[in-house]
Amino acid sequence: MMLVYVGRFGFLYSGADLQFHANRIFEYYNHLKEGNLIPVISTFSSNQIGSLVPTMYPSLPVYLGAMLQFIFPSVTAMYGLMWLQLMVQFSVAKWVGKELSLSSLESTIAAFIYTVTTPILSQVIQQWLFGEVWAMSFMPLLVLALIRLAESTKDSTVSLNRKTILLLVVGFTLIILSHMLSFVIVTGYTSIFTLFLLIFKKNRLNILANLSVAAIITILLSMVFLMPFIVAMLGNKLATPGATTLTLWSAPNVQELFKTAFSFKPDVLFKTNSIGIVAFLSIFGVIFTWWKQNRFTKYATIVSILIIFSGMSYIWKYLYETPLGSIQFPHRVFIIAIFLLSLTSILMIRNVFKSNQLRYILYVGLTLLSVIVTLFSLKFGFVDKVNALAVQTNYKPTSEKPVSYTPIANFKIKNADFKNIMGYWTTYGAFDYMPANFQFNKALQEKKIVQNGKPINTTVKPISNGIIYQANLDKQKDTILPMVGYKGLNYDITDKQHHHYNYRINKNKQLVIRMKNTDVNKVIVKAKTPITTYIAWIISLITAVFLLVNVLKNKKHKV
């Protein structure tokens, strides 16, 4: 309903990261269309300069988005992808709720409240924090795994719990393959929770054994991303994405937290840096009825409050001066608190009110409150404003008509002009993980080959993992190609006559070849997929098959 409301005119709106992720999806769609399942460099998007973006960012949801591009028109496919993510988030939350003793109805309502929370939908629809929201969808699996780990054997007897290990493996792996920084953050919180268990629980050996086995399997299962990423980092000195400065938007204080949840002014509506009204009501409700609440509800509320506090400015104004300052937007951990408080909002009502009829009335009331608040915020905090200010991308930028940053952060596109957002030179993400000391230049921006210091008119045709350049080239001249070169990648460079060229990487990190003593008007550059990448895929696939067989075998044995 909410996605239809936003997309009813066929536009895809704005979003801080929308253009970056649209580029990634468009990139993978074109690689898949040419039969390449493992993209290495960006050639169809991200300025077509051969950046290492496909290798350096987890791509599980990108593959899903690319496959939807085969089925639906471009913009429709993007809305389909958002719907799919929300359904995954809802389904995971509902299942975890049932595993934590909620009834089918209660877990459905809790999962619904959690999924339509204003700050979560803001990240999906407005901010388009694509990798993050997919990673968030799987975090409840880790919450359940850690609860089970805490409730495992009461002494130091080592007993591997297959269900707990499987939850840890699946949860962590799906998060790694969706968003690397989210994995780093949840690993940090898992470490803190583990330390707490090791201090206060007797079953220390059991906890460490289960976590160790889960960690080994997770690493093997995630090799498909981790190995290419590590190899590229070790082989190159890369410019990593810069962290944002500490602001109320990235780490709110109490005033900002309350204001973005309870104020109905347009300037504070539909923000990501809050927990939403229902979560606050759950905290207040549990505190005011503390004596009636069970142990899990109390613990979940306390943990939620601690998590919220850990993502606020009171902590991060000190941490931003340390290496931890590279962790952007600490409020992203609020997702775990929002999930737990969605559960406790239902449990609180169940523990206080004995009448089923009254419970159901309150459940319906919470559900309606969630929908009404989110729809109100969505309309007045996002859709109305963006419709009033956004421009439609109905042109492609050129060197004569460069595009400033503003339209990129404030645009709307239809199916017909979806490809236009692939041509913007200035954007988030497109220059992440470029070689250090890489310098932009006009010839590179215009995608022109350079000989004798002069740019030559060049026609560019992207192919999977490569580009075909057409230009009238002089014989026996050093020729700078408008493609970035990375150490550790092998490039196959040929001409129309199938002559092979040796290459070097110059000071500006661009590929340079020496022309032969023949007339050449076409140069084909292709990056070869490293052998380590194939090895990584094999390791991950074998681990996945082994895990699946083990699960099915165990299930059959149980029956």
Helix (H) or strand (E) holding 206: helix 204-221
pLDDT digits 0-9 by tens, 497-514: 899 999 999 999 999 999
Q: Give the rounded percent of residues in the chain with a pLDDT score beyond 90.
A: 69
Q: In this structure, are strands 411-413 and 449-451 parallel, antiparallel, or unpaired?
A: unpaired
With a cut of 90, say whether residue 478 has pLDDT above it. yes
SS3 of residue 319 by DSSP? helix
- As given in the structure block, the two tokens for residue 489 are 């990648």
Q: For 20-29, 76-85, 422-431, 474-483, which range has the lowest pLDDT when averaged over its residues?
A: 422-431
Mean per-residue pLDDT for 12-40?
A: 91
From 124-128, 174-178, 237-241, 366-370, the region with the lowest mean pLDDT = 237-241
Q: Please report, as a single letter, which amino acid is at residue 69.
A: Q
For residue 398, pLDDT beyond 60: no
Average pLDDT in the chain: 90
Phi first, then psi: what are they for 462, rounded to 5°? -75, 145
pTM: 0.93
CB 343 within 8 A of CB 147: no
Q: Considering only CA atoms, which of 339, 356, 361, 269 is closest in space to residue 113?
A: 339
CA dihedral 173, 174, 180, 184 (to 10 degrees): -60
Predicted local confidence at residue 379, as pLDDT = 93
3-state secondary structure of 512: strand
Give the integer Cα–Cα distance in Å for 366 and 349: 10
Q: CA-CA distances (angstroms) from residue 273 to 261, 334, 336, 435?
A: 9, 8, 13, 33
pLDDT at position 176: 97
More confident residue, 396 or 81: 81
Nearest to 145 by CA among 89, 204, 211: 211
> What's the pLDDT score for residue 300?
96
* pLDDT at residue 416 is higher than 90: no
Mean per-residue pLDDT, 387-403? 66
Diameter of the chain by CA atoms? 91
How many C-beta atoms surround the C-beta of residue 323 within 10 A? Answer: 7
For the chain, list the domains and their CATH numbers.
Answer: 1-128+375-436 (no CATH), 442-528 (2.60.40)
Tokens in use for 325? 């300052």
DSSP for 2-18? HHHHHHTTS-EE--TTH
Q: Could you tell me what percent of the chain has a pLDDT over 70?
A: 95
Summarize pLDDT for 239-277 with one digit per residue, the tens: 877 666 677 778 899 999 999 889 888 888 898 889 999
DSSP assignment of 441-503 equals: -HHHHTT-EEETTEEE--EEEEETTEEEEEEEE-TT-EEEEEEE--TT--EEEEETT--B--E
Q: Is the pLDDT of residue 372 over 90?
A: yes
Q: Give the residue-averaged pLDDT of 344-369.
A: 95
**Confidence at residue 362, expressed as pLDDT on a 0 to 100 scale:** 96
* pLDDT higher than threshold 90 for residue 405: no
- When mean pLDDT is compared across 84-98, 300-314, 405-419, 529-543, the lowest value belongs to 405-419
Alpha carbon distance 393, 75 (integer Å): 13
What pLDDT does residue 395 have?
59
pLDDT, tens digit (0-9, with 9 covering 90-100), for 180-191: 999 999 999 999
Q: Calculate mean pLDDT across residues 308-333.
A: 85
Asked if pLDDT for residue 64 goes beyond 90, the answer is: yes
Which pLDDT does position 14 carry in this prediction?
A: 74
Burial of 548 (0-12, 13-18, 19+ CB in 10 A): exposed
**Residue 397, pLDDT score:** 56
Q: Would the CA dihedral through 25, 31, 35, 41 be positive or negative?
A: negative
Q: How far apart are the C-alpha atoms of 69 and 24, rounded to whole Å?
A: 12
pLDDT-derived band at 559, boundaries 50, 70, 90: very low
Q: For residue range 4-15, what is the model confidence (pLDDT) as tens digits? A: 999 998 999 877
Top-confidence residue, 425 or 415: 415
Measured CA angle at 225 (ends 60, 509), to 5 deg: 110
| pLDDT bracket for residue 105 (50, 70, 90) | very high
